[in-house]
Structure formats: structure tokens, C-alpha cells
Structure 1
Amino acid sequence: MTHHPANADRAAPRPFGRLLTAMVTPFTPDGSLDLDGAARLAAYLVDEQGNDALVVNGTTGESPTTTDGEKEHLVRTVVETVGDRAQVVAGVGTNDTRHTIELAGAAEKAGAHGLLVVTPYYSKPPQAGLIQHFTAVADATGLPVMLYDIPHRSGVPIATETLVRLAEHDRIVAVKDAKGDLIATSSVTSRTDLAYYSGEDALTLPALAIGGVGLVGTSTHLTGALTKQLIEAYDRGATAEALALHRRLLPLFTGIFRTQGTILVKAALTALGLPAGPVRPPLVDATADEIAQLRSDCAAAGLELP
């Protein structure tokens, strides 16, 4: 077991709560950043969907297409709106360690409560490079860090032994786990104090069963309240209730990813009259057929989409 110095972040078994949503970034019809919309959407996600924290500037937030300045404005706006009742975790990961550190510092100054740092993508660094990268970012601010392990996007998994090494860092406290390898996840949760958050909506319940603590979700723009019920049911030992909720929500847990998740979330939010706006290229907005399928997936999960 990897042990850590006692501090406030480590004292909490769930450093960012149970339920987080990787928030989309609302844009105006002409594609500009919609900060008023971001504030309204953040309040909806916290006050109506039950999120304990929000991730801004993640992949779902179209971070590859937003400028550094837009990212900072977005963090500041969301912190000012919901920071008194939810944590705000800023996505700062890039495939350039120096740029990632700059974004981390800007997020800290903007009031973020934590950082989400994805595996450097495209470059395919070796594990020694991942240790160096994540350690340098964690050293750069006073904020707790959630590592984002998503090899199908980054091209490189964070190996089990690498995660065990990184868990020794006082500020590396959590993992968003989108590797889909429950055996590897189980090994890390048994050997470290890292708080594991499922990065795949449909694997929330299996992840809880092997030591996970919650979810960083995408469909939770729509399913947040029910997903929170699922997690809380499991926590209190009501596993049959948790399983029933898992089965109910599965059509939307998976259906939101029939195309790129941001596209369908924005289509759903627009249908609900909530701030979203268009996506930025190279993404394209949902087609009529995709929206019709989304309505069917919502209905299968017992949720109505106008």
C-alpha cells in the first residue's frame, strides 16, 4: 500500500465528491464563447443535476478549440457561479509539458479547486516521460491533481506501476479512468490511495465494485440526478437498487456516445432550452437522424427529450 502524508485532500476519500460532469462549453450562434450561458449551465448541473464538482475545459468542453484566454475566463466564470457549493476542476492537459504548466497556473489564479491532466496525446511518450510530465505539473501549483487515463484518445495508457509511482506525490490524488481495464484498475485501487473516478459512464457501477468512488460523466448533463442516486445506493449497500438504476440508464450511458459525446450533449441541451450552442470545427452539429436516435435513447432511459 502506498501511504501519503496526511493533508486535507487525502483526508477525504472522495477529494472531488461522488459525481462530476465534464461540462460542455456553451457558444453563441456565431461560435463565440458564451460566458452567461456557461454560468447558467453550471448552475443547472450543480443545483438540478446534483453534481459535486464540474470539469471545465475537458475534451467534452472542446478544449482543443478554445484559446488559453477563453479557458481562463471559463474557469473564472464557473467558479464565481457555483464555486461556493461545488468544486471546479480545470482541464489543463496538453501534449506539451511547458504549456500544461502554464495552463495549470492560470487555472489556479482563476480560482480552480483542482486540475484534470490528461496523458499527453499524439506524442506517445514512454512511461518515464509520463512520470516526468505529471510530476512537473503537480509540482507547479498547490492544487490537487486528477490524472486522466484514456489510451484510446491519447495513444498511451498510464501503466499500473506508473500510477503506483505517481500516487506517491502528495498532490496527485485521483484518476479519471477511461482505460476500460477493470483488472488494472483493481490493482491500482488495492495498492494506492488514489481516488478512482470512472471515465466511462456505463462502467460507473462496475468501477464502484472494485474500489472506485464515483464518475466523471458526459451523459450526466441529463442523467446526473439519477446517476447520483445510483452511486449513493451502492454506497449504502442497496446493490439491487444500484443495479436497477444502472440498467435503466444504460441506453443513455452508451447512447450519448453514438457519435462524439459533445455533439449529442449539445443537441440534447438545446432541445431542453439550456445553453449549449453549436460545436466548433472540426466537430459538426448533430443531424436530424442523430437527434431522433438520441430521443429514443432518452426514452429508453425513462427521460423525455422534447
Structure 2
Amino acid sequence: MKKPIFTGSGVAIITPFNETGIDFDKLGKLIEWHIAEGTDAIIICGTTGESPTLPIEEHKEAIRYTVEKVAGRIPVIAGTGSNDTHHSIETSRYAEAVGVDALLSVVPYYNKTSQRGLYEHFSAISHAVKLPIILYNVPGRTVLDMSPETTAKLAQIENIVAIKECNFSHVGELMNLCPEDFSIYSGEDGLVLPYLAFGAKGVISVMANIIPKETHELCQAFFDGDIDKARALQLKTLPLVKALFCEPSPVPVKKAMNLMNMNVGKCRLPLIDMEPQNEAFLVETLKSYGLIK
């Protein structure tokens, strides 16, 4: 029986930028903060980390730095997926060489392959490395929904061990179709508790960038059998989740972090600053949550 890569809250950590590139000093401080606050895993260079705008050398350096900074205290999962199978393999091999604990590999975007093409893509990556792989199904961004049947077929491959699933309607089917030790992680911050109730092992979270302790505690309360506490924590997050996704992520979460004096810089183009009305909504939500004054 395979053990989950992690249980609880994995933060899809933002990438802090300054005028010259990645602000590694700030990234290091964020990593230390997450570990102190109880975050259960760091996911570096995912969608929330603006991976599409990271040149390959910058992408690799972010992965290497994170592994060295975390130093084995919690799992490090590297986002190495792309819509180019060869590129995904190259980045995955690098991540394996520098010591990450697992890979996060997204459904190829834009190319819009078939379900068989998805199987061949992920199969090729899995055979190029020995690391455990978490698949990532996010049809809202890729415009391609990996079916539960395709996921279940991929789950038969030894080192494909989990999925970050953003289509909640798939979760029950995945639980029925996939091996018992295949892990499911919520890709939706507003639905963590329902995912856990279906048997998910945790969440790969955007909101954990600003409320890491509470996101961890939501999961832990469920695992401890305190459903009332887990429900209360999930319900409390819903207005925050609404604000964090009122514009394309990670624009609002980076803005929130800057409002909280974390100074993580702006998003890279083509992502732009928030519209004034949405920023005002975010500010009021952060105030009501007690995150800013």
C-alpha cells in the first residue's frame, strides 16, 4: 500500500518577483513562514506560481532553491507539466535530480489532445522518471477535461500515485475506479470539506498562501473527526475564496499578500493589476477576515 505524498494542506505557493526576476530572499521567508504555520507540503512552480511565465532556467532555479530551503522538513512537489511532452520530461528529470519529493503534472493545455493522447503524454513522463507523479486536472484553464476512466488507467502505472482534481463531479467516480492507495487532492479551495468527505487526502491550495494555519486546521479537524470544526472553518473561508478568485488567479492572492505587507511583487504579463471595483471587494473581504485593518 502506497502512502500519500502528504495529507492536509499543500500550498500552491506564489512566485515573488522583484525588478530583476525571482525574489529568492522573499521566497525563502515565505517557505519558513509556511513551515512554521503548519503547511503540510510546498508546491513550487504550479499555476499559482505563474509557471507559464518562468523561463526554463528560472523555473529550474526556483525548484532547486525550494528543495534546499525546505531541507526535507516537509514534502516539496515541483510543477513540471506543460503542453510539450518533451519539455515536461526535461523539467521533470531536473526536478528529480535536485531532490524533489514528487511532481505535479498538468493536463496539456491549448494542444487539446484526445483522452488517448493524455494517457500517452503522462505515460511518457512517468517512464522518464522514478519520482511519484500527481496528475493535475483543471479544465477551466486547460479547456480539456481528463475523464475519470483515463485517470483510472493512468493510476495503474506504478509512479502515478495521485491527482489534483478540480472537477468535483469526477471525485466519486475516481474513488470507485482508482486503486485504494491512489490519492485525490482538492483543487478547489471552496470545496475542501466535500472532497475530504469523499476520501481526498487534502488540498493543493491557493488560499493557503494567506491563511496557511487555517487551511491546515480545516483538514486536520476533518481527519481528527471534528466535523463541526471543519465545517465552520470551511464556511468561514467561502467569502475569502470568492474574493481570491474574482479575477484570474494568482492576481488577487498576490494583491492580498501585498496588502498584508508581504511585498511579493506583481504578476507578470499577460496578468495585470486588478480592476478597482474588484480590488475594493478584496480589501473589504480581507478586513472582514481580520487579515488587514
Taking structure 1 as the reference length, the TM-score comes to: 0.91
| 2:133 is equivalent to residue 145 of structure 1 | yes
What secondary structure does 1:147 align onto? strand
Cα deviations by residue, 1:47-101 (Å, 9 ceiling, x for unpaired): 22x2111111111111111111001110111111113211111111111111110
* Within-5 A mapping of 1:117-196: 117-181=105-169, 184-192=170-178, 193-196=181-184
Q: Distance in 2 between matches of 1:259 and 1:46?
A: 28
Q: Indicate conservation of the 8 Å contact 1:65/1:280, yes or no.
A: yes
Q: Indicate conservation of the 8 Å contact 1:127/1:158, yes or no.
A: yes
Q: Distance in 1 between matches of 2:114 and 2:153?
A: 14
Structure 2 counterpart of 1:252: 240
Structure 1 counterpart of 2:15: 25
Pick which of 197-206 and 247-256 moved more. Answer: 247-256
Structure 2 counterpart of 1:44: 33
Q: Distance in 2 between matches of 1:117 and 1:83?
A: 23
Taking structure 2 as the reference length, the TM-score comes to: 0.95
Q: Distance in 1 between matches of 2:34 and 2:263?
A: 11
- 1:287 to partner: Cα distance: 4.7
Structure 2 counterpart of 1:3: none
| 2:256 is equivalent to residue 268 of structure 1 | yes
Aligned match of 1:15 in 1, 5, 11? 5
Structure 2 counterpart of 1:278: 266
Structure 1 unmatched ranges of 5 or more:
1-5
Structure 2 counterpart of 1:234: 222
Q: Distance in 2 between matches of 1:84 and 1:78?
A: 10
- 1:142 to partner: Cα distance: 1.5
What secondary structure does 2:14 align onto? coil
Pick which of 266-275 and 276-285 moved more. Answer: 266-275
| 2:23 is equivalent to residue 34 of structure 1 | yes
| 2:200 is equivalent to residue 222 of structure 1 | no
Give the fraction of aligned pairs with identical amino acids, expressed as a percent.
Answer: 35
Q: CA RMSD in A?
A: 1.5
Q: Distance in 2 between matches of 1:77 and 1:287?
A: 33
Q: Distance in 1 between matches of 2:199 and 2:20?
A: 41
Structure 2 unmatched ranges of 5 or more:
none
